[in-house]
Amino acid sequence: MGKNLIGEYLIDDDLITREQLKQALELQAARIERGKMPLVGTILVEMGAVNAQDLAFALAEQESDRMRITA
């Protein structure tokens, strides 16, 4: 998996485990089947796997990398 998904940033920063990411992705898939579109980061916060501040930091890091790639 490339480091373009938020879960990979959180794993690389030692904020979550691969198992926690797997659980969040399973919850996301179940919710999508029910017609909802939850974000993995939101689910991880709901699970208590990561706090909102750490998620925000990882999202900023992800956005910075994306801007670097497109520049």
Report pTM.
0.84
Domain span including residue 25: 6-70
In this structure, is residue 58 part of a structural domain?
yes
| Cβ 69 vs Cβ 11: under 8 Å | no
pLDDT recorded at residue 66: 85
In this structure, is residue 1 part of a structural domain?
no
| Cβ 47 vs Cβ 23: under 8 Å | yes
Number of compact structural domains in the chain: 1
Q: What is the pLDDT along the chain (71 residues), one digit of tens a residue?
A: 446 899 999 999 999 999 999 999 999 999 999 999 999 999 999 999 999 999 999 999 999 988 887 76
CA 3 to each of CA 9, 11, 32, 44, 59: distance values in angstroms, whole numbers, following the listed order: 6, 10, 23, 17, 12
pLDDT recorded at residue 17: 98
pLDDT recorded at residue 71: 61
